[in-house]
Chain A
């Protein structure tokens, strides 16, 4: 017998008594059904055990080799933002009755989670202006891909039109998903940092299941959703909008502008960046699409005494009932992060949510004016509205990779190098400014950029 472990209560006496009850003489006998030819006899070549203290020291050493947003001032967004997380949030989401529970299959002892999800669905409907929302998806990008799948199933069409202003990684995931389902993906180009409406009109036809756009776009710009939606609907395609939920504190609800499906990532709502995951996808639809939604949905009902309660519902869509005919294969979702988003929205409330969005806009606006005024810098889409992120063209010949490293030396996480995903925007930086950035930080960042991009600085 190996030595005891703090997570395992089995004593030698327990083991002896249990084996006797079972009627076998050794633990080994319980594995007699595994053929000898495939038994593993050695010790697996894996990382070894550490005591609790040494393990934490090791983890802190690993973590300490990463530059984090506590030590560097972040102007990096591109889908994941450095927002303030209210102090109460981790305390409440960290209650282990929430995080150590499974999916709420037994509603009588899961009313807390079920009500929290019901409230999350309500919040998402309120922000997006849609009729119905689900309990969450893996992230905003997979939610967008599921929206394309839903649209194809609903319209019985096989073509998906995606704007190039959609997050590049989301477009990649849409393509992977489309390959699985046998859908064609067509990308539509940009004009002034927005989806080119003429190119969109040319790309959409009678075989188009959905038009997928993002607003605020990956480039930070705010689309004219009503116009794009009209183009989609003229050919009978569904109009799918991916939206940063925080922007909806100021931006018109996509549901009021013709969206049939609204998706996005709730990371800005109180979720840490954690190298990109876990975040929380949300998914909301117009009422006629309700029974085609992927994922869990919580509904209100009553118990035997007539008291209000909540249950998982419309399960006839789901994999555990419908198997190969399910609307999606999703099972686990991101419930704990949906809870974080709900707590965030409860804290911010009607006033705080709008104010946060306005702070983002105002501070980004100030940063854009400041950076755009630097010698050799220019704003790439100066006349296009944006939310909390904008594109700035750096002086000719700037090496963005070197610049990022130099900025980090000075305590800044610089913006995203757009040349990574838009060849025509090489030499352009996508700068994110949240409510946390002070005027001083913005101006210090501008000064650092100015200094470091002068020819002599990076050589």
Chain B
């Protein structure tokens, strides 16, 4: 990397001419193995070794062939994973406006907090007396999240958003069953996250999809037609995946409640409304939050997350057990005595170190700071939408919340698709927005800037988008063949699925 980086234009020329190989293929760790190398350091065996392994593990229990793990030394390991990290793009590398994923800055103090030995090196089966600090943190976080969402109680057990959805739906099912009602249908709008219908299925419920109206919002007539004596719940993301607030949410809640159903709030988009409006006040009975979105905990390349679930009082008996409770003497404990609980949904007490990070985040802002977070997230999104309207179709004009959608269909005339726009953005150092979701917008581009990005960053991204739109008209092949600056060019996904190679057989 000693020579200066060529400009994207120069690279494009070189790539089109087939004369540049930016980086060679990266070896697998298995391919780096050389017999006899070691990277480990183990304590000595200071106990008797008088017994044969085959005696201790008889009848075919002892492994015949050692697992063939690589033989490398420590520097190999360090360089391998360092190189892999350089082939990856995170929020710390640059702007990541991935709609509905809330890729905000992940504060470093959160990481430091989670690493404190008193949090990182504690065991869930220690005597409760010896983890009172951890239990206090969990109890406070339960209360803080209940206040934020306007719910009566929060469980911190679910490991992710989808896990929270399933947990919430299991509680809704148990609630209806406790009242002797057989309600099996979950209503979701066509713009909902795929996890909503999938969670309904795993909770033993059927999905009914209702079409959105022309304004992108829930069509009340369609909803009225869909609800009935079999309605278990309506699942709603508000603001929706289109970035629109369901203005008729109070009427929606009435329609569902009058039919005897409950309202489930998918909290994926909570970053728009903290301190401004609360799901509990909108009429929702159950809500999950994605702490790895709204509460800044890192996504880890796909996980771990945490998906706490808040409920109104009538659902409290059904919460998964245990919950963290406080005694009158001020001490904390795990409450297992919950006869109507849906049972356990996750080992131990949830993704604790993620919960530590979320608590740290909340304390970094306080309630007024969190409100400012949402204001800035919404301001940033509206600003981007206003500027991008110059070159892209805005299917739902007006104000948006923390995210908005564009349609790239105007570029199809030049043979350029939304996928091509996304790939071209890579050359300018941006992570592309979410694309082709929600499904009800053609050539959809879904942008969520978050509050932690500056006006200069937003302007830089907008300028790149405007430039790509211009390129699409003037030199479409430049866009269609992008990217040029990445370690690999576009990958053959069809080949991967048709002839699956899912592990290294070395």
B327 at the interface (CB under 8 A from A): no
Question: How would residues 281 to 304 of chain A score, 1 for a CB under 8 Å from any chain B CB and 0 otherwise?
Answer: 000000000100000111111111
Q: Which of B337-365 contact A (CB under 8 A)?
A: 342-354, 356, 359-360, 362-365
* Contact status A112-B87, CB under 8 Å: yes
B323 at the interface (CB under 8 A from A): no
Question: How would residues 40 to 78 of chain A score, 1 for a CB under 8 Å from any chain B CB and 0 otherwise?
Answer: 100111111110100110111111111111110010101
> Contacting A49 at CB < 8 Å: which of B85, B166, B364?
B364
Contacts of B483 in A (CB 8 A): 108
Contacts of B500 in A (CB 8 A): 132, 290, 297, 299, 313-314
A422 at the interface (CB under 8 A from B): no
B77 at the interface (CB under 8 A from A): yes
A116-B301, A180-B173, A301-B501 given; name 14 further pairs at CB < 8 Å. A38-B281, A66-B134, A97-B85, A100-B90, A112-B83, A138-B159, A224-B61, A303-B489, A320-B194, A343-B81, A346-B39, A353-B69, A365-B56, A438-B43
Q: A38-B249, A111-B26 are in contact. Are A173 and B162 (CB under 8 A)?
A: no
**A88 CA to B249 CA, complexed, in Å:** 51
Q: 8 tightest A-B contacts by CB?
A: A276-B348, A63-B118, A49-B366, A336-B300, A65-B133, A352-B40, A100-B90, A335-B302
> Contacting B26 at CB < 8 Å: which of A5, A115, A181, A226?
A115
Contacts of B250 in A (CB 8 A): 35, 37-38
* Contact status A276-B347, CB under 8 Å: yes
Contacts of A363 in B (CB 8 A): 45, 47
Q: A40-B281, A176-B344, A319-B198 are in contact. Are A96 and B61 (CB under 8 A)?
A: no
**A108 CA to B85 CA, complexed, in Å:** 13
**A38 CA to B277 CA, complexed, in Å:** 6
A263 at the interface (CB under 8 A from B): no
> Contacting B249 at CB < 8 Å: which of A17, A35, A313?
A35
B104 (CB) vs chain A CBs: closest residue: A7
**A363 CA to B6 CA, complexed, in Å:** 58
> Contacting B42 at CB < 8 Å: which of A290, A361, A435?
A435
**A107 CA to B496 CA, complexed, in Å:** 12
> Contacting B88 at CB < 8 Å: which of A15, A97, A251?
A97
* Contact status A365-B47, CB under 8 Å: yes
Q: A55-B109, A385-B58 are in contact. Are A43 and B502 (CB under 8 A)?
A: no
* Contact status B29-A97, CB under 8 Å: no
* Contact status A179-B77, CB under 8 Å: no
Q: A44-B367, A274-B353 are in contact. Are A103 and B302 (CB under 8 A)?
A: yes
Contacts of B347 in A (CB 8 A): 79, 139-142, 167, 169-170, 173, 265, 276-277, 279
A90 (CB) vs chain B CBs: closest residue: B115
B93 at the interface (CB under 8 A from A): yes
* Contact status B119-A176, CB under 8 Å: no
Partner-binding segment picked from B254-262, B381-389, B408-416, B469-477: B381-389
**A231 CA to B231 CA, complexed, in Å:** 43
Question: How would residues 453 to 464 of chain B score, 1 for a CB under 8 Å from any chain A CB and 0 otherwise?
Answer: 111000000000
B63 at the interface (CB under 8 A from A): yes
* Contact status A133-B502, CB under 8 Å: yes
Contacts of B84 in A (CB 8 A): 98, 111-113, 115-116
B183 at the interface (CB under 8 A from A): no
Contacts of A142 in B (CB 8 A): 159, 163, 345-347
A321 at the interface (CB under 8 A from B): yes
**A397 CA to B93 CA, complexed, in Å:** 60
Q: A7-B105, A9-B454 are in contact. Are A335 and B303 (CB under 8 A)?
A: yes
B163 (CB) vs chain A CBs: closest residue: A138
**A24 CA to B378 CA, complexed, in Å:** 13
Q: What is the minimal beta-carbon distance from B483 to any residue of chain A, in angstroms? A: 5
A1 (CB) vs chain B CBs: closest residue: B372
A458 at the interface (CB under 8 A from B): no
Partner-binding segment picked from A197-205, A322-330, A372-380, A446-454: A322-330
> Contacting B126 at CB < 8 Å: which of A44, A323, A413, A439?
A413
Question: How would residues 427 to 458 of chain A score, 1 for a CB under 8 Å from any chain B CB and 0 otherwise?
Answer: 00000000110110010000000000000000
* Contact status A349-B38, CB under 8 Å: yes
Q: A275-B123, A332-B162 are in contact. Are A106 and B346 (CB under 8 A)?
A: no
Q: A7-B452, A97-B88, A332-B302 are in contact. Are A348 and B366 (CB under 8 A)?
A: no
B136 at the interface (CB under 8 A from A): yes
Q: A96-B92, A180-B166, A250-B63 are in contact. Are A347 and B379 (CB under 8 A)?
A: no
Q: What is the minimal beta-carbon distance from B208 to any residue of chain A, in angstroms? A: 10
